[in-house]
Structure 1
């Protein structure tokens, strides 16, 4: 863990403690008996024992080899009753006032079992309505899992931020390396027209020059008069192969001037990746020196192969009006081969693990709760959610690990 996240986690822990710690969290992390009471009494099948007027209902969530479903056993004065001796209905209210009813039916093995599935997380307020040998019974308790409460001010100060789940696109991206080079046809080699000694040099390497600007003065050996060597283009002086007093040979290059207002990005693509990359797709170029990025479009895939690396070269043009991108610089780039729509996406920073699930944290009011999610395709920024959320759910998108840490600290229960 880096220093900054560690400090954030510590700050959150201290703020929660200052605001009441356990007491503030009791309702949301309550033991299986609910609201911080002692742990629920268990029956012979491992379920919660609910007792009233000499009758008992043992209630569990059956998960062995089947989707989770409520299962119950009936008792009178501690002795088992047949499943046909009564009826059981379990009503649950999930976070956000989502209500479910589970009606249990008699089974050949003597239990009552619901056909409806109890989806994860098993975190809700529970009401059990039973009728055993004509006696109406009712119990209510909370059974919370993966839930915590964090006040709005504490969440804000800790950097916890939420955003609604929405549709998006998942990009199929290839990350490659490349090199910046001047655009062909925008580099001028400036030579002396007539041989003779160089009398004056007007520019240095790195200077910006305009078309027609004097770069040097040479005295012609033929006419013994001086003439100006001028730049044919506007650009930057990349090289100067001259010194005052030296002799400029006829046709010898004295200066190299390049128009760097745009540059080529030559990207090296290896192996089978070359079969998927075609002109016209988006490219994000990153400068290795400082991480600056720029957007462009792939223009062409060159027909040959780079001899040294045996790679295919794909080329894009990068605008460089500020001159901060320099030829010869190494860069990395993400080539977006395809963008696929997704009904729901969340940032990668939203994802955490809880038990053996991939989860995100949904916020309702000041309460945060896990949502196990089934994931689809992902790219460098976000991931597709196939199930476990609905559009508009408020999901933690920053500092999700702080919410996870607070839930784990509370020891949230799992009532089966």
Structure 2
């Protein structure tokens, strides 16, 4: 086990540089070094503790020795101890040992070690990860009452609040929430059927004037063109049949209009259909009525709507099932024919505890999050459950309200790994 390693200015600079963070040059390094000088003055790495024949820490006092180890050879980790007097082994029955630990945040645990057939003393209770705590060992051997205290830290580092703020490290509490069964899909915007109309000539004759261009917003009844009738030799007007946007114009001044000839196409684009393409088995359990979040590719704007229907046929080109929703187009920036991406939420499952996916890291083959207490950050192994595109359920390892790093968690991981304190008993 190794003592806590305070993050150094160099380690922080290397972490930020390696991860593409902002570099402040020599001034930044000098400033960071100044922030840590007060912390590190008088602080020295604890010398490696002496180890016994079983690989445990040797605790010595008044001629007696307790060798304390964390036994975890293929079994859940437990405290295990051996007793010695003047360097000679003693029977396990010749003494008693109790281990008390204080974890980050002040939570305490007590372990009573009982004699075993192999000559050691061992605790019945297992020791939960992380094995990072203040340790107090109480032993009675014969008439002697012995006591030791030491720090045994792993996966832990300290960062000043000012440095954490500059590095963009942010925390939020672990809390209940909702995990969604979500499907990321793509689609196209199309005009709604019945909201596209043509302005046509009633009688043949030369076109005398055109009063709208493609892209113009027009109102129902507004005059769009004037045509001289070949029959009456008088002018008549062609009006917009609906309000909307002119999407096509197929006439020019001086040209001849035939009877029923389309002059303009007008579309009401105040709302648009979103046709979403769903592939394979996903189509079997996506039903109308579920929430849909649609994102515009051009600027990332997102709107929420509801899936209205799943069309019965298949899209011929892609062999996908088409699911349809409607979006409001008040700003006019949702354009027919544009590609969009969408998230369909099939089901929402409440969970007792969750954190953002950004909080999750892997260390030593385990999934961990980093819990902050004051200016100290601790790698906390967690058991995860369901997850969606943004959140992950925590089954064990955290309690409600734990302050978990949710942004720049990789900086904490890098600092712990560089210090060599990631996992060492």
The Cα of 1:410 is off from its aligned counterpart by 2.4
Equivalent residue, structure 2, for 1:30: none
Instruction: Please give the secondary structure, in 2, of the residue aligned with 1:172.
Output: strand
Q: How does 1:66-85 map to 2 (within 5 A)?
A: 66-85=75-94
Question: Equivalent residue for 1:226?
Answer: 235
Matches within 5 A, 1:43-192: 43-192=52-201
Structure 2 partner of 1:19: 35
User: Shift of the alpha carbon at 1:284?
Assistant: 1.1
Contact 1:143 / 1:414 at 8 angstroms: preserved in 2?
Answer: no
TM value normalised by structure 1: 0.94
Gaps of 5+ in 1: 28-34
* 1:297 pairs with one of 286, 300, 306: 306
What is the deviation of 1:368? Answer: 0.9
SS at match of 1:341: strand
- Rounded to whole Å, the distance in 1 between the matches of 2:154 and 2:138 is 22
Q: Contact between 1:86 and 1:134, CA under 8 Å: does it hold in 2? A: no
Q: Which structure 2 residue ranges, 5 or more long, are not aligned?
A: 1-14
Using a 3 Å threshold, how does the CA distance of structure 1 residues 376 and 263 change in structure 2: closer, same or farther? same
Distance in 2 between the 1:410 and 1:13 partners?
18
Q: CA deviation at 1:399?
A: 1.1
The RMSD of aligned alpha carbons is 2.0
Q: Aligned to 1:7, which of 21, 43, 52?
A: 21
Distance 1:126 1:218, change over 3 A: same
> Deviations along 1:378-414, whole A, 9 cap, x unmatched?
1111111111000010111111111222222322264
Q: SS of the counterpart of 2:163?
A: helix
CA contact (8 A) 1:26 1:36 kept: no
CA distance in 2: counterparts of 1:21 and 1:193, whole angstroms:
88
Aligned length: 409
1:357 aligns with 2:366: yes
User: 1:198, 1:244 within 8 Å by CA — same for their partners in 2?
Assistant: yes
Deviation of residue 128 (structure 1)? Answer: 0.3
User: Deviation string for 1:335-376 (max 9, x for gaps)?
Assistant: 111111111111111111221111111111111111101111
Report if aligned partners of 1:150, 1:367 keep a CA contact under 8 Å in 2: yes
C-alpha distance in 2, partners of 1:319/1:79? Answer: 84
**Contact 1:15/1:154, CA 8 A, preserved across alignment:** no
Alignment partners' CA distance in 2, 1:228 and 1:279 = 45
Residue in structure 1 matched with residue 338 of structure 2 by the alignment: 329
**Deviation for aligned residue 1:25:** 9.8
Contact 1:171/1:337 (8 A) holds in 2: yes
Q: Is the 8 A contact 2:416 2:422 kept in 1?
A: no
Residues 414/56 of structure 1: CA separation in 2 closer, same or farther (3 Å cut): farther
Find the aligned partners of 1:5 and 1:206 in 2 and give their Cα distance. 47
The two structures have a TM-score, normalised by structure 2, of: 0.92
- More displaced, 78-87 or 352-361? 352-361
Moved over 4 A (4+): 1-5, 8-16
**Counterpart check, 1:238 vs 2:247:** yes
How big is each residue's C-alpha offset from its partner over 1:245-298, in whole Å with a ceiling of 9 and x where there is no partner?
Answer: 111111111110001000000111112111011001011112223322211110
